[in-house]
Amino acid sequence: MFNKITIIGLGLIGSSIARAIKKNHLCKNLVAHDKSKRVLKKILKLKITNHIEPNLKKSVQDSDLVIICTPLGTYKNIVSVIKNYLKNTCILTDVGSAKIFVTNTVNKLINKNTIWIPAHPVAGTEQSGPEAGFADLFKNRWCIITPINKKNPNSLKKLNNFWKKIGSKVQYMTAEHHDKVMAITSHIPHLIAYNIVGTAANLEKDTKSEVIKYSASGFRDFTRIASSDPTMWRDIALNNRKQILHMLEKFNLDLSNLKSAIIKKDANKLFKLFSKTRKIRQAIVKAGQDINSPNFGRKN
């Protein structure tokens, strides 16, 4: 499909893409670049790519597809370094979670003729690093592509096919719409989970140990999400600020409303609030986006 593919950043996502490329034979020459020597050593040991290239410029030379899989805060430096080393027909893409920021940042830096197509595979786990990746991470998940212009329909088609071959379903949307949808489905859930686990972490020492002991009563679900990569989430919080703050406003308004129902002992209102949410769960299970086993089928 491609002759040479370069993956920049071999964490959970980057290393999973690499594994999926290898599994599905999507290129002849797969090259890994990471600023961490430990990560590159690991990649070499795991035989995930054909080559590792510690020099960023060299890693993208002659590539047909360059995929940036690093935290949002690194984009500016990376694109500044590689922009003059991409060949004309190369597709530059990424996997970042805040598309307005990513689009604006990269647009400002790249040369006029660079084929740049932002993308975001909506998949992941709470674990991070090259060891945590696996080839099927993107199977049956959505990959959102936010095309900037229609100058390169063939390249867009190629990227679309690439994600489909990896097992994903592909959806096009604008960066603005993407950021709004992700704010409620991903960013706010993560921030709220970090916040509630943080509240527990701030409790006195004896209560804290009991939080761990009795966590199966609900709390443990939040700790899974709140153990996601902190650098990645710092950068998302910083770079989808507008939509995050907007959704947080709605969340806070609803929470005041819930709080006042508790204070007023408004049984009817509480029952209504706690009833309407079941339908959304049922719709998610029906859409094949979660399993129906109690406690996610956990054996513990």
CB of 30: closest distance to its own copies in angstroms? 23
Q: Which of residues 44 and 283 has its CB atom nearest to its own copies in the complex?
A: 283
Q: Which of 45, 47, 202, 205 binds its own copies (CB under 8 A)?
A: 202
17 near its own copies, rule: CB under 8 A: no
Tell which positions 48-77 bind its own copies, by CB under 8 A: 73
CA angle 169, 174, 175 (to 5 degrees): 100
Cβ 158 to its own copies, closest distance in Å? 24
Contact 161, 1 (CB under 8 A): yes
In the complex with its own copies, the residue whose CB is nearer, 83 or 241, is 241
Residue 14 CB, nearest approach to its own copies (Å): 16
What's the burial of 291, exposed, middle or buried (CB within 10 Å: 0-12/13-18/19+)? exposed
* Choice between 85 and 251, CB closer to its own copies: 251
Applying CB under 8 A, does 291 fall inside the site for its own copies? yes
Q: Is 172 in the site for its own copies (CB under 8 A)?
A: no
DSSP state, residue 90: P
With contact defined as beta carbons under 8 Å apart, do 119 and 146 qualify?
yes
The residue ranges of DSSP E strands in the chain, in sequence order, are: 2-8, 27-33, 51-52, 65-68, 91-94, 115-117, 119-121, 142-145, 169-172
| Sequence-separated contacts (24+) of 222-227 with Cβ below 8 Å | 222/192, 222/193, 222/196, 222/197, 223/193, 223/197, 224/126, 225/126, 225/189, 225/190, 225/193, 225/194, 226/190, 226/193, 226/194, 226/196, 226/197, 226/198, 227/126, 227/127
54 or 271: CB nearest its own copies: 271
Query: Where in 115-144 is the site for its own copies (CB under 8 A)?
Result: 122-127, 132, 140-142, 144
Which residue's CB is nearer to its own copies, number 62 or number 221? 221
> Shortest Cβ distance from residue 113 to its own copies (Å)?
33
Measured CA to CA, the distance from residue 96 to residue 93 in angstroms comes to 9
> Least CB distance from residue 148 to its own copies, whole Å?
21
Binding residue for its own copies, selected from 23, 35, 51, 241, defined by CB under 8 A: 241
Is the Cβ of residue 5 or residue 197 nearer to its own copies in the bound state? 197
How many residues touch its own copies under the rule CB under 8 A: the total is 105
289 binds its own copies (CB under 8 A): yes
* Per CB under 8 A, 280 contacts its own copies: yes
